[in-house]
Structure 1
């Protein structure tokens, strides 16, 4: 509670005693039986109200703390010094978002509050209040969004077109003399944007699209630049923040491109051994961007294995770092027993191995998808398979009905000659 002001009658009584005591506060207080500081507060109030002509009123927000007079050799007032300080008392305004934690008061002999110390802390909001504040903040922002074309005229609700995206390895650093082709964040982004757009145009129009991220979307998981489990050192082109940011922007553009070709888009992001936690940035970024788009559905599950049913086809997906291809059919049969028995066709897609491998296991077509990324220095000479993107179209009653491909030129290295080596040696010298 604020300290009540001293009545004017009491202020004048203290002022007169102060004048009679030679303008000294403590002697005046002794004559009144109160503390000298209490006398000073009465005088200060008259000063602030402008009722005393021979003292300059304190500026707004301040009060007179002390008045010192200079006397001449005859004992007459020759000058006066007034000391001001921040005003004490009045109503305290608590800053927004804060709560009072502790109050300490200094009380004078007359029982009045002379000084107060107020400690305030941040108010502790519940998670629901925090979520509401974030929602309100987001609603006020002018989000920049691309615009998708209208729904395609030719559509077929029975079709599902899968776009398996395996091992793009954004920020992988490869040099042409080691891998046969230079590769970095900018190169990977431009390559994916162009080839994915071409792939969509080759796929059947209408129906539902499934953007299936099979892991290792980014080459590194954090700025340690090593694989999280094996601690294998990685050569990268950009820090993790720039890598994740570029990956989210690239994926957003890919969804908009799919919306121009298909009725709706389902998104599923799986972690790999390189992006064990950084994959979260991709799925959350996509979810936030498309959270109010009814034509986009995002699966937020965290499991390493994912199963999806489309009519008579059961689909499984996994990066491939925790389960061997020969084991994937068994995992599907064990975890999806009901759907396994009710479907006619079964397909399990994975990445991790960077080249196409197709196995028929227990009636399941287990397929490793190719990548767009060239081998880095560590894998140079090991991964020599073609690079491509593939879309797989399923019909609810007929199973797989078509595929589309976009191929890249193979990585070609040039053999050195004695003449070339001689020129290189001369240049180095």
Structure 2
């Protein structure tokens, strides 16, 4: 008969089945190795002890919802093909009356929300990157990534190009490196992730509002892991070539919720780095000023390109009025377009991502690209670099 120590070890090892991310599995293993000590597991991984407690408690709760606790395994009494969806307990109230207490399992979406929230809160500030030796203090370079749709799936025979999470990760980092190498070493950089960075926004691969079914690659947990890793790596790459980096994680129509936690994540990771600022406004129209230039940003899902000058004038009249040059940047339609009106240049940026089946059947093919634009404090735009997708 197994000892209580062996039984406890067996139970905790069974919790690995409820880990949604590699980070949770790593934390669980450290917790077991450190003799079930949250304190020593936290020290081992360099995270807050409260985070360890929350994750272990969450894993135990998920296990309990399947009827498995350290002292009891209800799954032994469940027939094949059935699952436990709740718990009924016969007990007595304060007056001695017999009562049934019935509970049901918490929704998976709520669990995911808790998981994301805990993960963001647990992140420790990223190690600081050394400043470049020299930069050009009158220049600011804008790096725009839009409609990247990490998590989308495309089959080349149907759409013209293959696209999945692995390809997306390689293409993105290659493109950013190419843009940095082709741009001046400006003192200021702006990373504008202009929306629709993630292809879908939750457990189901559908659009957030219309609930249209999407061609998807991978699990949502994997999607969020890759997306956060890419964003952090890009900022670190920019810090190697620029004194300061301003980060914009814009709202898109495919990632209404993800844009919120991406902003929170970037503030948490780079919160103590004085070289990084993060736009934290929930308002989906964003601004940044550099000398005589006003830069505005909006994904394009709420305002058409010809209406944007008026919209930005109504929201940022003082900033735009004090600027000699006014540039607005948008995406959404996956192709390049430039409109100039009322002293404002509005530019729709192309995307690096491949078309999915819906895009290939209903819309014209467009050139896939990304670009960096450099602005002088006195003269506005002075140069730009355009790169195209490559895997190698």
Aligned residue for 1:193? 173
> Aligned runs of 1:231-250 on 2, under 5 Å?
231-250=211-230
- After superposition, the Cα gap between the structure-2 partners of 1:293 and 1:147, relative to the gap in structure 1 and judged at 3 Å, is closer
The answer on whether the counterparts of 1:307 and 1:315 sit within 8 Å (CA) in structure 2 is yes
The answer on whether the counterparts of 1:386 and 1:408 sit within 8 Å (CA) in structure 2 is no
Aligned residue for 2:377? 396
What's the offset of the Cα at 1:145? 4.5
Instruction: Indicate the SS of the match to 2:329.
Output: strand
Aligned residue for 1:345? 325
Aligned residue for 1:407? 388
| Count of residue pairs brought into register by the alignment | 273
Aligned residue for 2:293? 313
Partners of 1:290 and 1:147 in 2: how far apart? 9
The answer on whether the counterparts of 2:141 and 2:186 sit within 8 Å (CA) in structure 1 is no
The higher relative CO (CA closer than 8 Å, separation ≥ 6) is in: 2
What's the offset of the Cα at 1:153? 2.6
Aligned residue for 1:294? 274
The answer on whether the counterparts of 1:313 and 1:344 sit within 8 Å (CA) in structure 2 is yes
Aligned residue for 2:310? 330
What's the offset of the Cα at 1:383? 4.0
| TM-score (norm: length of structure 1) | 0.61
The answer on whether the counterparts of 2:137 and 2:187 sit within 8 Å (CA) in structure 1 is yes
What's the offset of the Cα at 1:307? 1.9
What's the offset of the Cα at 1:309? 1.6
The answer on whether the counterparts of 1:267 and 1:298 sit within 8 Å (CA) in structure 2 is yes
Aligned residue for 2:131? 151
Q: For residues 209-257 of structure 1, what are the alpha-carbon distances to aligned partners after superposition, in whole Å with 9 as ceiling and x for unaligned?
A: 1001110000001122111122211111022221112101011000010
> Aligned runs of 1:369-384 on 2, under 5 Å?
369-381=349-361, 382-384=363-365
Q: Determine which structure has the larger helix proportion and give its number.
A: 2
> Aligned runs of 1:118-267 on 2, under 5 Å?
145=126, 148=129, 150-267=130-247
| TM-score (norm: length of structure 2) | 0.66
Partners of 2:144 and 2:178 in 1: how far apart? 15
Moved over 2 A (4+): 143-148, 150-154
Structure 1 unaligned blocks of 5 or more: 1-103, 105-133, 410-429
Q: For residues 40-85 of structure 1, what are the alpha-carbon distances to aligned partners after superposition, in whole Å with 9 as ceiling and x for unaligned?
A: xxxxxxxxxxxxxxxxxxxxxxxxxxxxxxxxxxxxxxxxxxxxxx
Partners of 2:167 and 2:303 in 1: how far apart? 31
The answer on whether the counterparts of 1:371 and 1:389 sit within 8 Å (CA) in structure 2 is yes
Correspondent of 1:284 among 264, 273, 276: 264
The answer on whether the counterparts of 2:142 and 2:373 sit within 8 Å (CA) in structure 1 is yes
| Structure index of larger Rg | 1
With 364-373 and 239-248 compared, the bigger mean Cα shift is at: 239-248
Partners of 1:305 and 1:177 in 2: how far apart? 38
Q: For residues 165-200 of structure 1, what are the alpha-carbon distances to aligned partners after superposition, in whole Å with 9 as ceiling and x for unaligned?
A: 101100001001111111111110111011111111
Instruction: Indicate the SS of the match to 1:207.
Output: strand
What's the offset of the Cα at 1:163? 0.6
Structure 2 unaligned blocks of 5 or more: 1-93, 95-117
The answer on whether the counterparts of 2:351 and 2:370 sit within 8 Å (CA) in structure 1 is yes
What's the offset of the Cα at 1:158? 1.9
